[in-house]
Structure 1
Amino acid sequence: MMWLTPWTGFILAACTVPLLLLLYFLKLRRSTQVVSSTLLWLSSTEDLRANAPFQRLRRNVLLLLQLLALIMLVLAVMQPRIEGAGGRGGRTILLVDRSASMQARDVDGGTRLEAAVDAASAEIDRLHAGGLFGGDEEETMIIAFAETAEIVQPFTGSRQQLQDALAEIEPSHGRSRIEDALNLARVYSTNPNPDLVDRPIAEAASLVLFSDGRIQDLDGLVLRGESLVFQRVGTDRFDNVSVAHVAAERPYDRPAFVEVFAGLANWNTSEVTVDVQLSVDGIGRRVEEVELAAAVRDIASGRLEPGRRNLTFTPFQQDRDAVIEVAVLREDSLPEDDAAAMVVPPPRQLRVGLITPERRLVRRIMEGLSLQRLEVMTPEVYESRIDSAELGDLDVLIFDAVAPAAMPPVPSIFLGRTPPTDRLRAYGEAEGQVVLGGGGDHPVLRYVDVDPIYVDRARQVQGGGDSEVILEGSRGPLMLTFVHEGREHVFATFDPIADSNWPYQRGLGVFLFNAVEYLGHHGDSLTRSQLSPGAALVAHLPADATELTLTTPSGEEFDLSEQNPARVSWGPIELSGLHEIRYTRSGTGEQYSWYESVRLPQVESDAAAASEVVLGMQRIDSTDAGAVRYRPLWPWAIGMCLLILLIEWWIYNRKIGSW
């Protein structure tokens, strides 16, 4: 049992109990007598004057009851309480998991995050109950974590501030990663004010974790003197079927058709049969019935391996851009992974111009691509067409070992010659280089094996703020992208044919195809990519795009009009689903939309609550969230006080004969 305001009760008792006793000492007690004459009143008056002020305290039931009532009132002011886990005192840090698995709805119809917030709120009430007359030396801090951790509320003793901060925690669809949260807790618990140069070192704070235990980065983490209490949220009886991935492609022989592929995962330990719906722009196109095998626990790793099934939908005609969604038509505990969407661009073939001094290899590669038109011209013809503004409607230009007199008006690929732009600064040449970094991270080098490439000679350049090195050599950048007047370009600092062994590798043709596709669809209203929560959203929009507005899957809007439309960035992304950027082209005044599809991490679909968390060699068993509660006893004391006063009133009325 604990007392929140004991000294207030002691002071109240010291002031009131002696006063009550003093009243009984001074009270003159007379018995009622029947007299035959008022002549006796004179002797009664004389007796009153002679009466002593203090009387011997006699046995009195009313006094006893009044003392008991006063004691109950004093106890209520002292605020006794019985605690389930005992107060720790000092400083406490609440770690609240807000990852994707915490959106599961297996806790009294609400989400696990809502239950975790309720449990954390009860913990705050327990630690900072305070009272009307009581102070509070306990300090508490709140950290919320998913892909990254953030301090929701620094150390404070204010219960109201903590409750307000707790209510501001928003859900995330990212993975549950606790390392950043532990690092923040250590920094702020051992150094209460890290902003000070001479900061005092304090004892480690007590940590309280509100999570379902499905934390992805526990391997290698250990506690360093902290005490950790794990309050589990959710149950291990979890029902979930998820769309693990979705993809689409246009067949080469039928570019107006789209073929959709989907991967399904059953996280239940029993077989299930589900209906899977394919939707295009929100309209259902196909429904397939699919049987999924049961999930199996891997004995070696202890992980649950879901029952998987790949599904291929019949190709359908789609001759324009579209948002394609695959959804499981079944209610389960985690609706966030029941659907996955992607964006398919229109089947647009590109118009490419090749400027070359009669070299044949690049020309033959480009002739083998599926292009709407390929125009081959010499540098002299190109310059004449530029001067007369007769370049036409080309989507991409390729400068094969030549450099134009001025930057071209369309996205371009420069092979081996430095572009005439102030975005790059050339300062020499480097010989004998191998590839050190880069590759499939950028769309231009997707599926390109760059490791065997050897470069005999390359230009040494330094890029500006809008440039990005996508292939790093042993003596400098080998390939980079840069933006000039709102248009993105690709620059290979070496001649792939004359100064490298790339023509003898298989990747040169793939690189040219990727680069043409990447630059040719620059500014398209739709994209193919799928990101994960925690990443940054990057959009390349037309140079004349204005009034940029981002809408998240939750319906929240953000104004991005101040950013450069050639490279719009926003993040980190918190929610899975479609993110839309609406913009207006100043030249035409028409409004367009650009979409990015964000997928929920598959590891978060395995969301059966864990019974323990393991940090190093320490196993921390869980207690159900909400089990730690304090039980205040002051209402019972108030109730007893009122009951005793009621009994005292009844006895008094019986004694004086009112009843």
Structure 2
Amino acid sequence: MSWFGFYAPSMAWLAFLIVPLVLFYFLKLKRPRLTITSLVLWQQVINDSRVNSPFQRFKRNLLLLLQLILLILLIAAAMQPFWRGRVSRIQRLPILIDCSASMAALDKPAGKSRLDAVREKVTEIIDGMLPDQELCLISFGRTARRRTPFTSNKKILLDALSQIEVEDVPSDVEDALRMTQALERTTTFSEVLLLSDGNFPTEADFELSFTLNYQRCEHPGPNFGITSLNARRTPEAMWDIFVRIEGSGDAEGTMTVEVTRDGERVGKESLSIAKGESERIVFRVSGERASSVEVKLTPDGFDSLASDNRALLDLPALRRLWVYAPASLASFRHALKPLAGIRLFPDEDGKTTETDFDLVITDRADEKTLSGRTCLYVGLVPEALSGLVTAGKKGTQVVDWRRNSALLQHVELRDLIVLDDPRSAENVQESDYEELGYEVLVHGTAGPLLLEKREGEKLSYHMLFHTDRSTLPYRVGFPILVSN
């Protein structure tokens, strides 16, 4: 593809106008012949005769030169020349447009949003399209949506662009990239333009077969927002609600945080945040009934994004947690009994009156069918991993563990003695476990010792060694692990 071209090359026929222009110059002299006595004009007459003679070199004439240059420029303008930029040299270009909640951020009070800035940029690309170019518009928030097929129709593209609105959801760029990759199977293109503010993971778990031209939106104005909202039950059958407020790097000011429960205000607090800092505040509400909690943030000054100033949390009615641990796991039952707010099954008579539990801890394969929102399987290898890991008896050591895991917070595993020896099969990598949905929390010398898997609302932990064949129950961290 040539970098230089013309929109209307057919207008080149206007170059034939040069012929009559030169011809008129040849024929412009029509002087009558007169006999005179002076010789002054002889040289001029000889020169004019030479000019009017075909195929003879005519004298330089500034006026004719200017006329020819002007005519050539007019012909070139009629042919509409262009110089292809980087984008215009691409024949087919998919454009991915982020329309998640963060794209509503404003650059100043009553200013334009990030999405408005993206619309302006894409509009410029559409207006500058060449006749042989085609664009495809894809918007994405939580999911991707193809707005247009590949087309060179500017009206269709502009209409589709105007219909893209901000969605109050997080962005998932992977869904958009997968859609684009599927599009490549039917249409050929080599580059994709991504317009976003960058609030998504920096790495995708699949390879791209095209070049990704990522253009990040400009930084908006200062922003305050609720970045974390969670609740923790207390021994007094109450809920402690933890709210974290953060500001962007250039944001500082005062604000008010208000908490309502089923529409009734239960707390209000004013706070001040410096640039790049955050604040955590705690509110306590009763857990006697199920309720919906709303937290609302009201900055005193300009806030570029309003969608992160409100958060909701549904709280169930508090009751004692139902925990199942068989008699064979005496160490776990011993650590569970002192904990407040739990009901332990089986009871002292060995009876179990329930079938659904909040927590199931077991080392028996026949009890894997017990229903629990959180499960810890001790000394059992999941069937899905039977080809990846085997349980040996030669002993192993802890190499590393995820200290930020909710299960292992404040649990020290250094110098732990383990008599079992879970071993990964030959050439098995950590990524092989991750492909099946398992995350390795504790690494041994030859394989994983503890795995985590989340399926919807169910969270399961798989301890590939038995605690009775280790020194874990005798360590200070064991009751902490059980409490976690």
TM-score by length of 1: 0.46
Secondary structure of residue in 2 paired with 1:258: strand
Paired AA for residue 500 in structure 1: S
Paired AA for residue 294 in structure 2: E
The answer as to 2:385 corresponding to 1:415 is no
Q: Aligned-pair distance for 1:460?
A: 7.0
Answer whether contact 1:442 1:470 (CA < 8 A) is retained. Answer: no
Secondary structure of residue in 1 paired with 2:240: strand
Q: Aligned-pair distance for 1:338?
A: 1.6
Q: Which one of 2, 5, 8 corresponds to residue 6 of structure 1?
A: 8
Answer whether contact 2:422 2:446 (CA < 8 A) is retained. Answer: no
Q: Aligned-pair distance for 1:322?
A: 3.4
Matched with 1:138 is: 133
1:347, 1:151 → 2: CA distance? 45
Q: Aligned-pair distance for 1:232?
A: 6.3
The answer as to 2:215 corresponding to 1:246 is no
Q: Aligned-pair distance for 1:112?
A: 1.9
Matched with 1:279 is: 260
Secondary structure of residue in 2 paired with 1:364: helix
1:488, 1:228 → 2: CA distance? 38
Matched with 1:127 is: 129
1:148, 1:319 → 2: CA distance? 38
Secondary structure of residue in 2 paired with 1:259: strand
- Structure 1 residues 428 and 230, CA, compared in 2 at 3 Å: closer, same or farther? closer
1:99, 1:513 → 2: CA distance? 38
Which structure 2 residues correspond to residues 2-151 of structure 1 after superposition, within 5 A? 5-9=7-11, 89-91=88-90, 96=97, 98=99, 101-106=102-107, 110-128=112-130, 136-140=131-135
2:200, 2:438 → 1: CA distance? 34
Which structure 2 residues correspond to residues 150-165 of structure 1 after superposition, within 5 A? 157-159=152-154, 162-163=157-158
2:170, 2:157 → 1: CA distance? 24
Q: Aligned-pair distance for 1:361?
A: 3.4
Matched with 2:294 is: 325
Secondary structure of residue in 2 paired with 1:263: strand
The answer as to 2:467 corresponding to 1:496 is yes
Answer whether contact 2:407 2:481 (CA < 8 A) is retained. Answer: yes
1:456, 1:156 → 2: CA distance? 66
Q: Aligned-pair distance for 1:413?
A: 4.5
Q: Which one of 433, 455, 464 corresponds to residue 418 of structure 2?
A: 455
Which blocks of at least 5 consecutive residues in structure 1 are unaligned? Answer: 19-70, 129-135, 219-225, 296-304, 515-659
Which blocks of at least 5 consecutive residues in structure 2 are unaligned? Answer: 21-70, 204-210, 426-432
Paired AA for residue 317 in structure 2: P
Answer whether contact 2:287 2:316 (CA < 8 A) is retained. Answer: no
1:353, 1:209 → 2: CA distance? 50
Q: Which one of 453, 468, 475 corresponds to residue 446 of structure 2?
A: 475
Secondary structure of residue in 2 paired with 1:91: coil
Q: Aligned-pair distance for 1:146?
A: 8.6
Answer whether contact 2:5 2:82 (CA < 8 A) is retained. Answer: no
Answer whether contact 1:470 1:481 (CA < 8 A) is retained. Answer: yes
Task: Please give the per-residue CA displacement for 1:571-613, whole angstroms capped at 9, x wherever unaligned.
Answer: xxxxxxxxxxxxxxxxxxxxxxxxxxxxxxxxxxxxxxxxxxx
- Structure 1 residues 404 and 283, CA, compared in 2 at 3 Å: closer, same or farther? same
Q: Aligned-pair distance for 1:7?
A: 4.0
Task: Please give the per-residue CA displacement for 1:517-568, whole angstroms capped at 9, x wherever unaligned.
Answer: xxxxxxxxxxxxxxxxxxxxxxxxxxxxxxxxxxxxxxxxxxxxxxxxxxxx
Task: Please give the per-residue CA displacement for 1:415-474, whole angstroms capped at 9, x wherever unaligned.
Answer: 34x49x9777596524222345654576544554445433211567999x9884654533
- Structure 1 residues 452 and 157, CA, compared in 2 at 3 Å: closer, same or farther? farther
Q: Which one of 499, 505, 514 corresponds to residue 475 of structure 2?
A: 505
Percent identity reads 21
Paired AA for residue 338 in structure 2: G
Q: Aligned-pair distance for 1:214?
A: 9.2
Which structure 2 residues correspond to residues 432-443 of structure 1 after superposition, within 5 A? 432-435=395-398, 439=402, 443=406
The answer as to 2:320 corresponding to 1:349 is yes
Which structure 2 residues correspond to residues 555-574 of structure 1 after superposition, within 5 A? none
- Structure 1 residues 439 and 323, CA, compared in 2 at 3 Å: closer, same or farther? farther
2:142, 2:445 → 1: CA distance? 33
Secondary structure of residue in 1 paired with 2:128: helix
Q: Aligned-pair distance for 1:90?
A: 1.8
- Structure 1 residues 320 and 448, CA, compared in 2 at 3 Å: closer, same or farther? farther
2:444, 2:9 → 1: CA distance? 74
Secondary structure of residue in 2 paired with 1:431: coil
2:354, 2:124 → 1: CA distance? 69
Answer whether contact 2:222 2:251 (CA < 8 A) is retained. Answer: no
Matched with 1:334 is: 305
2:376, 2:147 → 1: CA distance? 47
Task: Please give the per-residue CA displacement for 1:223-261, whole angstroms capped at 9, x wherever unaligned.
Answer: xxx999979657x6x243323433433332x22x23333
Q: Which one of 406, 418, 431 corresponds to residue 394 of structure 2?
A: 431
Q: Aligned-pair distance for 1:365?
A: 0.9
Paired AA for residue 321 in structure 2: L
The answer as to 2:285 corresponding to 1:316 is yes
2:166, 2:397 → 1: CA distance? 45
Answer whether contact 2:262 2:292 (CA < 8 A) is retained. Answer: yes
Q: Aligned-pair distance for 1:109?
A: 5.2
- Structure 1 residues 153 and 410, CA, compared in 2 at 3 Å: closer, same or farther? closer
2:458, 2:106 → 1: CA distance? 46
Q: Aligned-pair distance for 1:334?
A: 0.8
The answer as to 2:340 corresponding to 1:370 is yes
2:90, 2:157 → 1: CA distance? 13
Paired AA for residue 322 in structure 1: S
- Structure 1 residues 489 and 391, CA, compared in 2 at 3 Å: closer, same or farther? farther
Secondary structure of residue in 1 paired with 2:394: strand
Which structure 2 residues correspond to residues 188-337 of structure 1 after superposition, within 5 A? 238-252=221-235, 254-255=236-237, 257-267=238-248, 272-293=253-274, 295=275, 305-306=276-277, 308-313=278-283, 315-330=284-299, 332-337=303-308
Instruction: Pick which of 367-376 and 442-451 moved more.
Output: 442-451
Q: How many residues align?
A: 396
Secondary structure of residue in 2 paired with 1:261: strand
Matched with 2:49 is: none
1:372, 1:156 → 2: CA distance? 63
Paired AA for residue 419 in structure 2: D
Paired AA for residue 506 in structure 1: V
Secondary structure of residue in 2 paired with 1:333: coil
1:270, 1:414 → 2: CA distance? 47
Answer whether contact 1:103 1:171 (CA < 8 A) is retained. Answer: yes
Answer whether contact 2:10 2:79 (CA < 8 A) is retained. Answer: no
Q: Aligned-pair distance for 1:165?
A: 6.0
Secondary structure of residue in 2 paired with 1:370: coil
Q: Aligned-pair distance for 1:126?
A: 2.0
- Structure 1 residues 483 and 156, CA, compared in 2 at 3 Å: closer, same or farther? closer
Matched with 2:62 is: none
- Structure 1 residues 103 and 513, CA, compared in 2 at 3 Å: closer, same or farther? same
Answer whether contact 2:257 2:296 (CA < 8 A) is retained. Answer: yes
Secondary structure of residue in 2 paired with 1:121: helix
1:310, 1:430 → 2: CA distance? 47
1:246, 1:96 → 2: CA distance? 29
Answer whether contact 2:140 2:172 (CA < 8 A) is retained. Answer: yes
- Structure 1 residues 169 and 453, CA, compared in 2 at 3 Å: closer, same or farther? farther
Matched with 1:67 is: none
Q: Aligned-pair distance for 1:404?
A: 6.8
Task: Please give the per-residue CA displacement for 1:65-96, whole angstroms capped at 9, x wherever unaligned.
Answer: xxxxxx9xx99x9596999x979742175565
- Structure 1 residues 427 and 328, CA, compared in 2 at 3 Å: closer, same or farther? closer
Which structure 2 residues correspond to residues 533-544 of structure 1 after superposition, within 5 A? none
1:341, 1:78 → 2: CA distance? 62
